[in-house]
Amino acid sequence: MSPRDFKGNKSQLPSKPCTVCGRPMSWRKAWAKNWEQVLYCSEACRRSKPARRPGKDGEG
């Protein structure tokens, strides 16, 4: 069953954990085009994301 065929049973939708708090996030129609890039369950988690360290990816 694809998310586009959703008929009201959330247990059938894909889910994944938030990268900050670990809470499960269920697929939402608003995230349909970029579900693979969704990392945070809320604006609060997005704001409290861990800071990137320079040099970790080979820079600096």
Q: Structural domain tally of the chain?
A: 1
Q: What domain range includes position 26? A: 14-47
In a domain, 54, yes or no: no
Share of the chain above pLDDT 90, in %: 38
pLDDT of residue 42 exceeding 80: yes
Query: What are the DSSP calls for 12-60, one per residue?
Result: GS-EEE-TTT--EEE--GGGTTTGGG---SSHHHHHTPPPPPTTTTS--
Q: How much is the average pLDDT of 33-59? A: 81
Lowest-confidence pick of 18-22, 23-27, 34-38, 53-57: 53-57
In a domain, 32, yes or no: yes
pTM of the model: 0.63
In a domain, 23, yes or no: yes
Angstrom distance (rounded) from CA 11 to CA 41: 17
In a domain, 37, yes or no: yes
